[in-house]
């Protein structure tokens, strides 16, 4: 009789283990399917972009043909910018002068790009959400599969409309503490609140404002820290990006300065404007190792790679292009 409780306990443990294993296996299988879906979505987007390039060259416009070729041959890191440049040229094209069949084919190719991009980014979103689950991170269920990334390309309201990009120069600050950690804010696009990302201190440059002055002002408004203009190193990096925020598409040119602070910095966000109050959910200090291992979306994408070199304080005076 005494052995019965032991047997019962053993059976319960076996049953719980089997159920837990089945649950973990289902999560791993779902993650694998999501990665397959993301790869397939990228292949479809790549094919749609390639078709747009072929149709563009059929227009026999030298400038458009060169832009299409640059977009086709661009590396993955430069592809977004190259495709957006092509979109801008196509948006300015007078389509009334085209043969009806060619105009229809171009519009169809552009529409397929729009649809393929949406499908791709939806797949990336779902995959990233799954990869960020605690059980996935704790058990490393994502294995060696690379982390997928969104493809940000300007999207007109209708394929035949001109692509309207709002220029947005901005000054940003890579603010680091004595331990070599960088301060990042956590926020989201109001149009896509489920897609969270981390980003550096900084913001848009006002009319007539110098980059360094804008960086000092933004740092004070967002952190409460009063930086001396001469304490900023740089701009050390330059980043071009096209992104959408609250339904508006921006052609952003970001200039990054480096600043080091000693001691414990108390972050004061009372200077946030209404948009920042609404869309920034928090902040934290990140080490390069933490950035390297995180599944979260971080901008600039190369921050983890470039941070150790920047922390040495040995800047050669050259502004480096980053993504």
Where exactly are the structural domains of the chain?
3-138, 166-322
CA distances (Å), 181 to each of 195, 259, 288, in order?
24, 11, 7
Contact yes or no for 127/27 (Cβ under 8 A): no
Q: Does domain 166-322 have CATH number 3.90.79.10?
A: yes
Structure tokens, 26: 């289902």
Contact yes or no for 19/26 (Cβ under 8 A): no
Count other Cβ atoms within 10 Å, centred on residue 98. Answer: 16
Count other Cβ atoms within 10 Å, centred on residue 76. Answer: 11
4, β-bridge pairs = none
Q: Could you read off the pLDDT of 44-68 as tens digits, one per residue?
A: 988 989 999 998 988 888 888 999 8
pLDDT, residue 159, reads 45
Q: Could you read off the pLDDT of 246-280 as tens digits, one per residue?
A: 777 777 889 999 998 886 678 888 888 888 889 99
Q: Could you read off the pLDDT of 77-132 as tens digits, one per residue?
A: 788 888 888 888 888 888 877 777 788 888 888 888 888 888 888 888 888 888 87
Confidence band (pLDDT; 50, 70, 90) for 162? very low
Q: Could you read off the pLDDT of 2-61 as tens digits, one per residue?
A: 556 767 877 878 888 888 778 888 888 888 888 888 889 889 988 989 999 998 988 888
């Amino acid at each position: 009789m005494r052995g019965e409780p032991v047997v019962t306990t053993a059976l319960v443990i076996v049953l719980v283990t089997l159920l837990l294993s089945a649950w973990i296996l289902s999560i791993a299988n779902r993650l694998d399917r999501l990665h397959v879906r993301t790869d397939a979505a990228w292949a479809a987007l790549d094919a749609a972009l390639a078709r747009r390039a072929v149709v563009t060259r059929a227009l026999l416009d030298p400038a458009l043909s060169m832009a299409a070729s640059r977009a086709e041959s661009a590396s993955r890191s430069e592809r977004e910018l190259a495709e957006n440049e092509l979109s801008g040229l196509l948006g300015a094209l007078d389509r009334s002068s085209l043969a009806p069949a060619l105009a229809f084919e171009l519009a169809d190719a552009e529409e397929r790009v729009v649809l393929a991009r949406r499908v791709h980014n939806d797949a990336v979103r779902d995959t990233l959400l799954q990869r960020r689950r605690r059980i996935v991170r704790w058990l490393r269920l994502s294995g060696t599969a690379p982390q997928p990334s969104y493809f940000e390309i300007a999207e007109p309201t209708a394929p035949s409309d001109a692509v309207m990009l709002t220029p947005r120069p901005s000054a940003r600050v890579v603010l680091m503490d004595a331990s070599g950690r960088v301060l990042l804010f956590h926020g989201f696009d109001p149009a896509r609140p489920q897609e969270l990302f981390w980003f550096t201190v900084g913001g848009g440059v006002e009319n007539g404002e110098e980059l360094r002055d804008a960086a000092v002002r933004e740092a004070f408004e967002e952190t409460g820290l009063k930086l001396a203009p001469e304490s900023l190193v740089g701009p050390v990096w330059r980043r071009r990006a096209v992104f959408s925020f609250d339904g508006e598409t921006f052609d952003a040119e970001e200039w990054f300065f480096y600043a080091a602070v000693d001691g414990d910095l108390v972050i004061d966000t009372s200077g946030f404007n209404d948009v920042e109050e609404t869309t920034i959910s928090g902040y934290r200090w990140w080490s390069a190792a933490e950035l390297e291992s995180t599944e979260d979306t971080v901008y600039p994408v190369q921050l983890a790679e470039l941070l150790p070199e920047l922390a040495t304080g040995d800047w050669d005076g050259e502004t480096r292009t980053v993504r």
